[in-house]
Structure 1
Amino acid sequence: LNFSINSSFRLRLAKSVAARFGGLVVCTFGQAAEKHWAFQPVSNPSIPITRIAWPSSPIDYFILRKLNVEKMSPSSTANPRELIRRASVELTGLPPTFAEVEAFRKAYAADAQQTISLLVDRLLASPEYGERWGRHWL
């Protein structure tokens, strides 16, 4: 987009829009705005491949690259009890029950990735998730 509007007109336009909608409107025009990441076309970046077994999804490679730049390493894998507690408290604000922990622990031993996926899906579908995050907007 090329807006060849002089700055005094832009200022009057912004004030007019702000007055009409009862608030401050921030308008940016020109090359600086066009270079902002939000106005760039969506692209699929190439995945930085590293010879390490830690990444389990494509985004992990980007995390690993940043960790390497910062001379850090990934944390060790949490045990099943820590995983269910972290997920439950983060998503619902509530700790899991003893029965939930034991069921998760047994299922995790059989298939860790599937068990984590099912846990997160269950927590996201729970009313407690909506109640916890709905408070931010109420």
Structure 2
Amino acid sequence: MTEDTAVPTADAMSVRDTVTVRMPADSAYLSVLRTATAGLAARLDFTLDEIEDLRIGVDEACAMLLTQALPGTDLTTEFELTGDGMRISVSVLTTDGRPPARDTFAWTVLSALAGDVDAVVGSDDRVSIVLHKRRDPVESV
């Protein structure tokens, strides 16, 4: 009896990498995160406008979370790169496990910049904001 074995391919749609950045939950370190966001988005061939949207979106998500971060805790950002986009999860341990309000101007801006946006609360009061940005399809000339 023979068994067929699937061999992974390296086409553009199957690319998947994960990068995690952990740093103190302090706004003084956000420039490092903005730079990492831009570099990873450039790796996926996002346009300059899309890269800037992601940088601002990550910055906004961090600003929303840092206001409720436990003192002395870390801000963790996980970037998942796929063939057609990037999923970014920013999380921090909080004092009360309260997700950010979705009816605010900041949430509206975040949604406009990042595409799909969600907030998740873990059992340990860790609050995460998850952004999922897909590249705009390339138009043929």
More helix by share: 1
**What TM-score does the superposition give when structure 2 sets the normalisation length?**
0.27
User: Whose relative contact order is higher, 1 or 2, with alpha carbons under 8 Å and at least 6 apart?
Assistant: 2
**What TM-score does the superposition give when structure 1 sets the normalisation length?**
0.28
**Bigger radius of gyration, 1 or 2?**
1
